[in-house]
């Protein structure tokens, strides 16, 4: 579904990604972790073509992002993205937040978009909040709306960038529960998160990044198995968060 091939990226003289290579197969749940500043957000934004890269290629469902003739907005519309900060439109109701991109990008009718939005709102447990504005919801609720909004576009893959790290602790699980459910339904997911409970429960693979490199990329069982077989940097990182 996603093939990242020897991707390197610079911000000016600063190399933020160095020769990153990995794959996410259909139905795979891949957790990306690593220290702050290691390039996790940058890598995931490259997959969604939100950030350009100077070397290598990323192929999403057979379409090359590096190919200049590729229609990038079309790729973006098929790749769901959920950020740390929910980025809902504050001046629009939840219903309109859910419907807008469906109408503008996919050309769905108002009715169709609303029906789809409401069904997804029910799925994330927020059916009764449809008429509210984002500011009237808790952080955890807003993040569940953001997930529903991404799902409304019928994405072929979902990218998450630390979706729970801005939440109060008591709200983390309500968001993780939605993500676990998605994973168990077979959604292809690439998740930047330090929630290792989530990784243990549903990840197929864990990628560990450090200083712009993919240092580890292995099956979950292996990643959490014998810590002594992890790289020095991954062990150091894990010793702090486990």
- Residues of this chain that interact with ligand ADP (CB under 6 A) are 11, 14, 16, 34, 36-42
> In angstroms, what is the minimal distance from the CB of 210 to ligand ADP?
9
Residue sitting closest to Mg ion (CB)? 41
Nearest CA-CA partner of 102 in 153, 157, 146, 148: 153
- Of 14 and 242, the one with the shorter C-beta distance to ligand ADP is 14
- Look at the alpha carbons of 225, 219, 237, 235 in this order and tell me if their dihedral is positive or negative: positive
Q: Give the relative orientation of helices 94-104 and 139-151 as an angle to the nearest 10 degrees.
A: 20
Neighbour tally for 1: CB within 10 Å: 17
- Judged on CB neighbours under 10 Å (0-12, 13-18, 19+), 70 is middle
Q: Decide which of Mg ion, ligand ADP, none touches 75; Cβ closer than 5 to 8 Å per partner kind.
A: none
Coil, strand or helix at 155: coil
Nearest CA-CA partner of 205 in 184, 185, 219: 219
> In angstroms, what is the minimal distance from the CB of 168 to ligand ADP?
21
Q: Decide which of ligand ADP, Mg ion, none touches 142; Cβ closer than 5 to 8 Å per partner kind.
A: none
- Of 41 and 164, the one with the shorter C-beta distance to Mg ion is 41
- Of 15 and 70, the one with the shorter C-beta distance to ligand ADP is 15
Give the C-alpha separation, 56 to 21, whole Å: 9
- Of 157 and 209, the one with the shorter C-beta distance to Mg ion is 209
Q: Decide which of ligand ADP, Mg ion, none touches 38; Cβ closer than 5 to 8 Å per partner kind.
A: ligand ADP
Nearest CA-CA partner of 213 in 41, 38, 57: 38
Give the C-alpha separation, 204 to 49, whole Å: 24
> In angstroms, what is the minimal distance from the CB of 9 to ligand ADP?
9
- Of 81 and 130, the one with the shorter C-beta distance to Mg ion is 81
- Of 117 and 198, the one with the shorter C-beta distance to Mg ion is 198
- Of 108 and 162, the one with the shorter C-beta distance to Mg ion is 162
DSSP 108: -
Residues near Mg ion (CB under 5 A) are 41
> In angstroms, what is the minimal distance from the CB of 161 to Mg ion?
6
> In angstroms, what is the minimal distance from the CB of 34 to ligand ADP?
6
Phi–psi pair at 223, nearest 5 degrees: -60, -45
> In angstroms, what is the minimal distance from the CB of 175 to ligand ADP?
18
Coil, strand or helix at 225: coil
Q: 90, 134 in Cβ contact below 8 A?
A: yes
End-to-end CA distance of the chain: 30
Q: Decide which of Mg ion, ligand ADP, none touches 39; Cβ closer than 5 to 8 Å per partner kind.
A: ligand ADP
Q: Decide which of ligand ADP, Mg ion, none touches 16; Cβ closer than 5 to 8 Å per partner kind.
A: ligand ADP
> In angstroms, what is the minimal distance from the CB of 4 to ligand ADP?
14
């Amino acid at each position: 579904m996603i093939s990242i091939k020897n991707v390197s990226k610079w911000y000016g003289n600063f190399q933020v990604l160095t020769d990153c290579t990995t794959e996410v197969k259909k139905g795979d749940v891949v957790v990306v972790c690593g220290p702050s500043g290691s390039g996790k957000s940058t890598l995931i934004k490259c997959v969604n073509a939100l950030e350009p890269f100077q070397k290598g290629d990323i192929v999403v469902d057979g379409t090359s992002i590096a190919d200049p003739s590729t229609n990038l907005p079309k790729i973006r519309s098929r790749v769901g993205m959920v950020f740390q900060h929910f980025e809902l439109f504050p001046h629009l109701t939840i219903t309109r937040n859910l419907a807008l991109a469906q109408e503008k990008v996919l050309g769905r009718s108002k009715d169709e978009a609303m029906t789809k939005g409401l069904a997804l709102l029910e799925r994330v447990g927020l059916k009764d909040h449809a008429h509210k504005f984002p500011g009237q919801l808790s952080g955890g609720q807003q993040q569940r709306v953001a997930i529903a909004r991404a799902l409304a576009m019928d994405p072929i893959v979902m990218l998450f960038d630390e979706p729970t790290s801005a939440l109060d602790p008591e709200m983390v699980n309500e968001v993780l529960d939605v993500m676990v459910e998605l994973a168990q339904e077979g959604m292809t997911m690439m998740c930047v998160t330090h929630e290792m409970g989530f990784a243990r429960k549903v990840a197929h693979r864990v990628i560990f990044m450090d200083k712009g490199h993919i240092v580890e990329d292995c099956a979950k069982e292996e990643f959490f198995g014998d810590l002594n077989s992890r790289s020095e940097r991954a062990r150091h990182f894990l010793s702090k968060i486990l």
